[in-house]
């Protein structure tokens, strides 16, 4: 094919119009004049897909021609959200499409609004992966995502009487317009079976893995457009299908029912995304999923490499693999198995190649999120991999013994296999030993990895540990989510900042410009009007855009302390209704977020938020000043509507628990002021935007850690001493917020007053409430507020995921951009 494409696709309004109508007729079978909005959405998506695939093929050719190194990002989650508007912006055809759609009697917003989210992720970790894909493509880097093609993404959240109800999210009907099936690149994955210890012809130990089951991995490619539309990378998602070879064997044996059962079993593997965020259930199917991702990806990576190279010496120079947390950590064992068992590379050499290829990102310190798998399960599912893990561990511990002879505690602590019962494999230890780079996702988090999570490993390999503070893509989180703010900034400082976000600094002088400030506040107000409608349509709560929008949206988790926010609201409510203290400005508290289906405390919090909101709404003394809205079914698309409308962004995790946070960055970029603890990336954000432009409260990670160790946190004493804390906590124990469900929230009093309360709610409460009061007061001064908000926007450019990806590329991957050729830029075919 030599990079030639047979049909030349047009990008003018005319060409796009023709393409849409052609797809209406020939992909969907409908007459254009009778097309529904959904038909038009699909036809437009197919038209966009055609053009993305054209550029993707060219991009791939360019990468092949250059012989450049490639990066593969292995992740169990890619939280993409909608694609259409993002792709139209990236390809710079938004306006042409808008015109073409007018000819069809509709408009581009309405059509883009037809799309469902691809919710193949839970939260921060999955959305980070999606932002990274966007940045790699926008930086012309050969970086590719590998993930699973789940039939069901993260559940949909309904609210009924204040309680969360989960509904399955079948996004698959949407998928064909986004992806192409690549049956030609399918692979076969073995699992289960046994080891037979044999000798090879030289009499050497030669274990054989036999009697496995086979599953087929079918790849689906989703094109990922870089900004400008010339570089288009791919996200490759694998779906599990029954292996035909295996079926035929059983069918031939005449066991029809068993063969069909087997088929169903195989397809289970990619059926559903596990809905837990920073938490592991230890379920067998989850381990199978993780292995399936690893096996399919490595098969693909090795096959691609083998197109150009006949031995493995150059592998680490041509391939980099990044593990998104430990979920794909089996890649260490699988790459060893491929090299040693299939390619006959000597063990030591294979280990060197593996280590130089793989890098690992840690995303949490939460003990319950550190993956461990029972040795017995691994022995059954992956007997050969377990042998490699033993060998790796043996070799590793031998080195520990030479370095620290007789230090048994250290050995026990560092071992990949944890002593039982039950004996378990620690995936973080496997990843740290197997990778040449271990990184955290904010400065504080990386520091804590070195000092508390893995101090022994840090001592052994200090050069292996490094920080890569997270970032977000300004394309989605500014251009797509907040086009009016984007345009306002562009009018002020000119184009180009979208791919060079530090240039937002040029906005700083405009913070003093009354005309600019006024326009800035108008944009914010417009976004608040838009959100008002969204909230009204989904909750029937009517919010007032003139009130302060105080927003906390993220997964519901104890460590994120939505409860502390509620305590703050109750505090203000009691002050207002019992002490006559009005807030300086009317306030609307906006919450959104999902709770893992099995997480009882988190689900109770959702109910509490609703009930507190209802109590306030029923109280004539309160309802004109305070309002609470819980927007259901939080997802990327809802975040795009909420974040641009926020005045305050709440980032109040217990210090030391939030590895980074990325919502904090999205809000600041959209001109919200942060109320936050000194946790995760909040610390770096405060350094960048300036301490006077952010509201910091609460204890530091160091102070929390010290109190924990000393056992000196005594919440009951704080309750006894501080009358307002007592009133707030007692109000929960009373039926004030559950008049028709007596005793519902009584547990919260015991919870908050327990000495072992893990998240230090009451320790931070007073500082937090004072900080909230200050922020409300300052909100009244519009000039001051606009100035602070604009300075946030101007100084937050550091948190572009383009910066993060450049650091990964330079410091871990050794990856260079492969920019479009002159011919590609001028639109010629070759
Ligand atoms: I591990 N994170 C997540 O969303 N899911 C997980 O399973 C794990 C971590 C999050 C962290 O909680 C955030 O602090 C962080 O910003 C995000 O990963 C991206 O690094």
What is 438-489 written as a DSSP string? EEESSHHHHHHIIIIISHHHHHH-GGGEEE----B-HIIIIIIT-HHHHHHH
For the CA of 124, the closest atom of ligand 1 is: 4
Q: In degrees, to the nearest 5, what angle opens at C-alpha 157 toward C-alphas 556 and 602?
A: 25
Whether residue 496 is contained in a domain is answered as no
In a domain, residue 393? The reply is yes
Residue pair 353/429 in contact by the 8 Å Cβ criterion: no
Question: 28-75: per-residue pLDDT in tens?
Answer: 999 999 999 999 999 999 999 999 999 999 999 999 999 999 999 999
Nearest CA to ligand 1 atom 9: 363
- Which of 75, 77, 79, 125 has most ligand 1 atoms within 8 Å of its beta carbon, as the pocket-test mutant? 125
User: Mean of the per-residue pLDDT values for the chain?
Assistant: 96
Residues of the chain with pLDDT > 70, as a percent, come to 97
Are both 548 and 455 inside the same structural domain? Answer: no
Confidence of residue 245 (pLDDT cuts 50, 70, 90): low
- Could you tell me the distance, in angstroms and rounded to a whole number, from the CA of residue 125 to the centre of ligand 1? 4
Residue 525 known to be catalytic = no
User: Confidence band (pLDDT; 50, 70, 90) for 830?
Assistant: very low
- Between the CA of 412 and the centroid of ligand 1 the distance, in Å, is 28
The residue annotated as part of the active site, out of 662, 677, 771, 804, is 662
Which of 666, 787, 788, 795 is catalytic? The answer is 666
CATH number where 660 lies: 3.40.50.2000
List all residues 6 or more positions away from 230 whose beta carbon is below 8 Å from its beta carbon. 55, 58, 59, 140, 820, 824, 825
pLDDT > 90 fraction of the chain, expressed in percent and rounded: 92
Residue 126 alpha carbon, nearest atom of ligand 1: 4
709 Cα: distance to centroid of ligand 1 (angstroms): 25
Q: Whose CA is nearest to atom 18 of ligand 1?
A: 125
pLDDT tens digits for 812-825?
A: 999 999 999 999 99
For residue 555, how far is its CA from the centre of ligand 1 (angstroms)?
Answer: 10
* Domain extent for 704: 541-780
pLDDT band of residue 368 (cuts 50, 70, 90) is confident
Residue 100 has pLDDT above 70, yes or no: yes
* Whether the predicted pLDDT of 2 surpasses 50: no
Distance CA 290, CA 466 (A): 25
The Å distance, Cα 630 to ligand 1 centre, comes to 23
Last residue of one domain, picked from the residues 465, 482, 502: 465
* Closest ligand 1 atom, residue 555 Cα: 4
In terms of domains, do 177 and 309 share one? Answer: yes
Give the ligand 1 atom nearest the CA of 470: 20
Closest to 317 in 3D by CA, of 71, 62, 66: 71
830 is an active site residue: no
Q: Within this chain, do residues 429 and 551 fall inside the same structural domain, yes or no? A: no
Q: Whose CA is nearest to atom 8 of ligand 1?
A: 278
- Which pair of tokens denotes residue 661? 């946070």
Between CA 367 and CA 443 the distance in angstroms is 20
Q: For residue 8, name the pLDDT band (cuts at 50, 70, 90).
A: confident
Q: For ligand 1, what atom is nearest to the CA of residue 362?
A: 1
- Are residue 231 and residue 351 in the same domain, yes or no? yes
Answer yes or no: is pLDDT of 1 > 60.
no
The more confidently predicted of residues 33 and 451 is 451
| pLDDT value of position 246 | 58
**pLDDT value of residue 828:** 59
pLDDT tens readout for residues 532-561: 999 999 998 999 999 999 999 999 999 999
> Which ligand 1 atom sits nearest the alpha carbon of residue 279?
7
Q: In the predicted model, is pLDDT for residue 5 greater than 60?
A: no
pLDDT per residue as tens digits for the range 604-645? 999 999 999 999 999 999 999 999 999 999 999 999 999 999
**363 catalytic, yes or no?**
yes
Task: Clarify whether 708 is annotated catalytic.
Answer: no
Please give the backbone phi and psi of residue 660, each rounded to the nearest 5 degrees, phi first. -140, -55
Q: 448 and 553 share a domain? A: no
More confident of the two residues 420 and 764? 764
Residues 608 and 753 in one domain: yes
447 Cα–ligand 1 center, Å:
16
Lowest model confidence (mean pLDDT) among 249-263, 316-330, 383-397, 493-507:
249-263
Final residue of a domain: which of 441, 465, 489? 465
pLDDT band at 4; cut points 50, 70, 90: low
Catalytic residue, chosen from 554, 587, 627, 787, is 554
Q: Is residue 66 part of a domain?
A: no
pLDDT at residue 712, rounded to an integer: 98
Is residue 171 within 8 Å of residue 155, measured between CB atoms?
no
Look at residue 248 and tell me whether its pLDDT is greater than 70: no
pLDDT at res. 205? 84
Is the per-residue pLDDT at 227 higher than 90?
yes
Residue 648 in tokens = 């305050």
560 is catalytic: yes
- Map residue 152 onto helix, strand or coil: strand
Does the residue 299 lie in any domain? Answer: yes
Q: Are strands 143-148 and 70-74 parallel, antiparallel or unpaired?
A: parallel
The total of other beta-carbon atoms located within 10 Å of residue 588's CB is 24
**What is the average per-residue pLDDT within 307-336?**
98
Same domain, 397 and 253: yes
Residue 525 lies in a domain: no
**Together in a domain, 451 and 593:** no
Q: Is the pLDDT of residue 217 over 60?
A: yes
Write down the catalytic residue from 555, 607, 627, 787: 555
What atom in ligand 1 is closest to the CA of residue 361?
Answer: 20
Q: Which of 363, 372, 468, 795 is catalytic?
A: 363
Q: 127 C-alpha vs ligand 1 centroid, how far in Å?
A: 9
pLDDT band at 420 (very low <50, low <70, confident <90, very high): confident
Please indicate, yes or no, whether residues 397 and 305 belong to a single structural domain of this protein. yes
Say if 363 falls within a structural domain.
yes
**Ligand 1 binding residues, C-beta < 6 A:** 122-125, 128, 277-278, 325, 363-364, 369, 441, 470, 658-662, 680
Give the span between the Cα atoms of 638 and 629, in whole angstroms.
Answer: 14
Residue with the smallest CA separation from ligand 1 atom 13 is: 661
- Tell me which of 560, 607, 772, 795 is the catalytic residue: 560
Nearest-atom index, ligand 1, CA of 366: 1
Q: Flag whether 367 is in a domain.
A: yes
Query: Has residue 149 got a pLDDT over 60?
Result: yes
* C-alpha of residue 437 to centroid of ligand 1, in Å: 18
Say what angle helices 514-539 and 782-795 make with each other, to 10 degrees: 90
269 alpha carbon – ligand 1 mean position (Å): 23
For ligand 1, the distance from its centroid to the CA atom of residue 727, given in whole angstroms, is: 35
Q: Is 722 a catalytic residue?
A: no
How far is the centre of ligand 1, averaged over its atoms, from the C-alpha of 364 (Å)? 6
Is 566 a member of any domain?
A: yes
Residue 190's pLDDT is 96
**73, 75, 123, 469: residue to mutate for ligand 1 pocket, most atoms within 8 A of CB:** 123
Q: Are residues 415 and 550 in the same domain?
A: no
Residues 742 and 602 in one domain: yes
> Would you state the pLDDT for residue 251?
66
Residue at a domain's end among 418, 445, 465? 465
Q: Is 337 exposed, middle or buried (0-12, 13-18, 19+ CB in 10 A)?
A: buried
Considering only CA atoms, which residue is closest to atom 3 of ligand 1? 125
Structural domain total, the chain: 2
Are both 436 and 307 inside the same structural domain?
yes
- Which residue puts its alpha carbon closest to atom 2 of ligand 1? 125
DSSP letter string over 624-667? Answer: TTEEEEE-SS--HHHHHHHGGG-SEEEE-PPTTS-S--SHHHHH
């Amino acid at each position: 094919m030599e990079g030639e494409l047979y049909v030349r696709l047009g990008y003018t309004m005319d060409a796009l119009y023709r393409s849409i109508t052609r797809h209406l007729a020939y992909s969907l079978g409908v007459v254009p004049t009778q097309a529904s909005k959904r038909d038009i959405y699909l036809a437009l998506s197919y038209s966009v897909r055609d053009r993305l695939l054209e550029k993707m093929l060219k991009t791939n050719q360019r990468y092949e021609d250059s012989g450049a190194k490639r990066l593969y990002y292995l992740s169990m989650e890619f939280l993409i959200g909608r694609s259409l508007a993002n792709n139209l912006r990236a390809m710079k055809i938004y306006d042409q499409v808008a015109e073409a759609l007018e000819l069809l009697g509709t408009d581009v917003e309405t059509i883009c609004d037809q799309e469902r989210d691809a919710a193949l992720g839970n939260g921060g970790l999955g959305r980070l992966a999606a932002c990274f894909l966007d940045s790699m493509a926008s930086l012309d880097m050969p970086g590719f995502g590998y993930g699973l093609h789940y039939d069901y993404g993260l559940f949909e959240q309904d609210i009924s009487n204040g309680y969360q109800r989960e509904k399955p999210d079948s996004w698959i009907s949407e998928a064909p317009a986004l992806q192409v099936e690549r049956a030609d690149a399918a692979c076969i994955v073995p699992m289960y079976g046994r080891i037979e210890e044999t000798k090879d012809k030289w009499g050497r130990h030669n274990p054989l893995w036999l009697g496995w089951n086979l599953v087929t991995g079918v790849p689906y490619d989703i094109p990922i457009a870089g900004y400008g539309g010339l570089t288009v990378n791919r996200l490759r998602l694998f779906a599990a299908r029954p292996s035909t070879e295996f079926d035929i064997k059983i069918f031939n044996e005449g066991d029809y029912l068993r063969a069909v059962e087997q088929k169903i079993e195989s397809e289970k593997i990619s059926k559903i995304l596990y809905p837990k965020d920073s938490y592991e259930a230890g379920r067998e199917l989850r381990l199978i999923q993780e292995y399936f991702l690893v096996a399919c990806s490595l098969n693909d990576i090795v096959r691609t490499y083998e197109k150009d190279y006949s031995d493995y010496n150059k592998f680490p120079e041509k391939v980099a693999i990044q593990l998104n947390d430990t979920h794909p950590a089996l890649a260490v064992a699988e790459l060893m198995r491929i090299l040693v068992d299939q390619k006959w590379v000597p063990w030591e050499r294979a280990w060197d190649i593996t280590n130089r290829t793989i890098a690992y990102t840690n995303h949490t310190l939460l003990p319950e999120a550190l993956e461990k798998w029972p040795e017995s399960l691994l022995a059954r599912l992956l007997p050969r991999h377990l042998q490699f893990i033993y060998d790796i561990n043996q070799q590793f511990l031998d080195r520990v013994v030479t370095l620290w002879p007789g230090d048994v505690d250290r050995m026990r602590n560092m071992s990949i296999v944890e002593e039982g019962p039950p004996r378990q494999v620690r995936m973080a230890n496997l990843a740290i030993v197997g990778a040449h780079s271990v990184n955290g996702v904010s400065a504080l988090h990386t520091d804590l990895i070195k000092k508390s999570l893995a101090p022994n490993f840090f001592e052994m390999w200090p050069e292996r540990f490094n920080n890569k503070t997270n970032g977000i893509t300004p394309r989605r989180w500014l251009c797509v989510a907040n086009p009016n703010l984007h345009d306002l900034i562009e009018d002020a400082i000119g184009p180009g900042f979208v791919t060079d976000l530090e240039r937002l600094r040029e906005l700083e002088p405009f913070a003093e410009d009354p005309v600019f400030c006024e326009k800035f506040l108008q944009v914010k107000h417009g976004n608040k009007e838009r959100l008002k409608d969204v909230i009204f349509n989904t909750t029937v709560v009517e919010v007032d855009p003139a009130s302060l929008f105080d927003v906390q949206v993220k997964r519901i988790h104890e460590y994120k302390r939505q409860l502390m926010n509620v305590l703050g609201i109750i505090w203000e409510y009691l002050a207002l209704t019992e002490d006559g203290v009005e807030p300086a400005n009317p306030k609307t508290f906006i919450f959104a977020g999902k709770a893992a289906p099995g997480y009882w405390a988190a689900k109770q919090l959702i109910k509490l938020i609703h009930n507190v909101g209802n109590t306030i709404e029923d109280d004539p003394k309160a309802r004109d000043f305070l309002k609470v809205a819980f927007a259901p079914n939080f997802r990327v698309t809802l975040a795009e509507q909420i974040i641009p409308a926020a005045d305050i962004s709440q980032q109040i995790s217990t210090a030391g628990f939030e590895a980074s946070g990325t919502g904090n960055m999205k809000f600041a970029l959209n001109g919200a002021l942060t109320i936050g603890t000194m946790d995760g990336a909040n610390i770096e954000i405060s350094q960048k935007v300036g301490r006077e432009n952010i509201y910091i409260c609460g204890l530091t990670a160091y102070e929390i850690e010290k109190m924990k160790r000393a056992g000196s946190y005594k919440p009951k004493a704080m309750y006894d001493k501080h009358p307002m804390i007592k009133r707030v906590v007692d109000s929960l124990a009373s039926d004030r917020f559950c008049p028709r469900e007596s005793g519902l929230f009584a547990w919260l009093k015991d919870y908050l007053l327990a000495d072992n309360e893990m998240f230090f709610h009451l320790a931070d409460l007073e500082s937090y409430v004072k900080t909230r009061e200050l922020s409300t007061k300052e909100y009244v001064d519009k000039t001051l507020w606009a100035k602070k908000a604009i300075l946030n926007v101007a100084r937050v450019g550091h948190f572009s995921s383009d910066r993060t990806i450049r650091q990964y590329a330079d410091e871990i991957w050794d990856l260079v951009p492969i920019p479009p050729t002159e011919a590609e830029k001028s639109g010629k075919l070759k």
